[in-house]
Each structure stands twice: as structure tokens, then as C-alpha cells.
């Protein structure tokens, strides 16, 4: 199951909620060359590697998909990560940017359900990014500038669009979508 959105729209919030509720799920830990934020730990939220190491892995064709989301800041899904989770017989939960989500859906086809989380408005997205308190002013400006073009790219390209307005409503809708998908 693939969750995508511009950053700040609520992917992590929704994905963490589903991970608590559904033991069938395991979170796909992406590799990234960005620095850990706050309490993030290597091998938990991400595999933190250098940009050089990332390029080396690209050359080895080690990724299902990857993006240079911002300059020199790579994010990608390792083939070994997919194998690790499938070996346990679990359903993979992806939290990736919109291009990554689109590419993962193309790669997995009918095996996957892609969900686009849509913020109620750009103003609300900005408030949430500020409220999260994890990004510098510069990073917030960068993320907001990207958000509009990401939404434009993504609308109409995912199996389901889920508006994240009132959080409890979003959770209930995400659970209904999940129940439907995992019972297939």
C-alpha cells in the first residue's frame, strides 16, 4: 500500500496510525542522504547514507525507485527492503513522495494500491509544516514551493485521493480503504 503527498500533508501521521492498527503491515524503510531530524534513528525511519553511497547503489541497480527530491538529497526504496518485508509474509506500507508513489504503482501494478493524501488547502499545509516544528524556515519555504507542483503532477494519477482535513475522519477513511484492500 503506497501513501504519497506533498510533505506536511499528513503521510507519516496516517501511516503510523495504520501501522499501530494492522499487524499485517510493515513500514518500508527508505534510504536517504539527508541528515536525521530530531530523534530519527538509522534503520528506523530511514537508512541514512551519504550521497556518494547513494550514487554507488544507483549504479548497482539496487533501487526499485529513487528520486533526487532536493539537490543532493536522495530518497529511494531498496530492492533489498522489499525482499526483507516479503520474506516475513507482510504487506509493505510505503510513505514516499508523489513521483516515488507513481513509480512504485507502475512497478507493482495490481499488487499495489496507491493513495494520494491531499491537504485541504495550501494555507493549511503551511500551518502544519510550521506546527510540526522540525524544519528550518528555509526548508519550509522550499517544501511549500514544491508542494503545489507536486499536487498538480499527482492529481488523477493515484488509485485513491484522500483529503486530510479533520484527522479522525481521515483515520476512519484510511481504515476503510485498508480493510477493503487487504481483504482482496
Where does this chain bind ligand ADP (CB under 6 A)? 5, 7-13, 128, 131-132, 164, 167, 170
User: Which residue stretch of 83-91, 95-103, 119-127, 160-168 sits at the interface with ligand 5GP (rule: CB under 6 A)?
Assistant: 95-103
Name the residue with the smallest CB distance to ligand 5GP.
Answer: 100
Alpha-carbon span 157 to 73, nearest angstrom: 25
H or E stretch covering 4 = strand 2-4
Alpha-carbon span 184 to 179, nearest angstrom: 9
For residue 27, state whether it binds ligand 5GP (rule: CB under 6 A). Answer: no
For residue 69, state whether it binds ligand 5GP (rule: CB under 6 A). Answer: yes
Q: Which residues contact 153 (CB under 8 A, 6 or more apart)?
A: 98, 99, 102
For residue 84, state whether it binds ligand 5GP (rule: CB under 6 A). Answer: no
User: Cell match 491537504: residue?
Assistant: 119
Q: Which three cell numbers stand for residue 139?
A: 526548508
146 binds, among ligand 5GP, ligand ADP, none (CB under 5 to 8 A by kind): none
For residue 76, state whether it binds ligand 5GP (rule: CB under 6 A). Answer: yes
Give the nearer residue to ligand 5GP in terms of CB position, either 63 or 178.
Answer: 63
For residue 114, state whether it binds ligand 5GP (rule: CB under 6 A). Answer: no
Alpha-carbon span 116 to 101, nearest angstrom: 8
Question: Are the C-beta atoms of 117 and 173 separated by less than 8 Å?
Answer: no
97, 112, 114, 174: which one contacts ligand 5GP (CB under 6 A)? 97
Count of C-beta atoms within a 10 Å radius of residue 120: 13
Q: Which residues bind ligand 5GP (CB under 6 A)?
A: 7, 11, 30, 34, 65, 67, 69, 75-77, 95-97, 99-100
Amino acid at each position: 500500500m503506497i501513501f504519497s503527498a506533498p510533505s506536511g500533508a499528513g503521510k507519516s501521521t496516517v501511516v503510523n496510525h495504520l501501522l499501530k492498527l494492522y499487524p499485517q503491515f510493515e513500514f518500508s524503510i527508505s534510504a536517504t542522504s539527508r541528515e536525521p531530524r530530531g530523534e530519527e534513528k538509522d534503520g528506523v525511519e530511514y537508512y541514512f547514507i551519504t550521497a556518494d553511497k547513494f550514487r554507488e547503489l544507483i549504479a548497482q541497480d539496487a533501487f526499485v525507485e529513487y528520486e533526487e527530491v532536493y539537490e543532493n538529497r536522495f530518497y529511494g526504496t531498496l530492492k533489498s527492503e522489499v525482499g526483507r518485508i516479503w520474506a516475513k509474509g507482510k504487506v509493505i506500507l510505503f510513505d514516499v513522495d508523489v513521483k516515488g508513489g507513481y513509480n512504485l504503482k507502475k512497478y507493482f501494478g495490481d499488487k499495489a494500491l496507491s493513495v494520494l493524501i491531499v491537504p485541504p488547502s495550501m494555507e493549511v499545509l503551511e500551518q502544519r509544516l510550521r506546527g510540526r516544528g522540525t524544519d528550518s524556515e528555509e526548508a519550509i519555504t522550499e517544501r511549500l514551493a514544491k508542494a503545489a507542483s507536486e499536487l498538480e503532477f499527482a492529481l488523477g494519477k493515484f488509485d485513491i485521493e484522500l483529503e486530510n482535513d479533520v484527522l479522525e475522519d481521515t483515520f476512519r477513511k484510511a481504515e476503510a480503504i485498508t480493510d477493503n484492500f487487504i481483504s482482496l
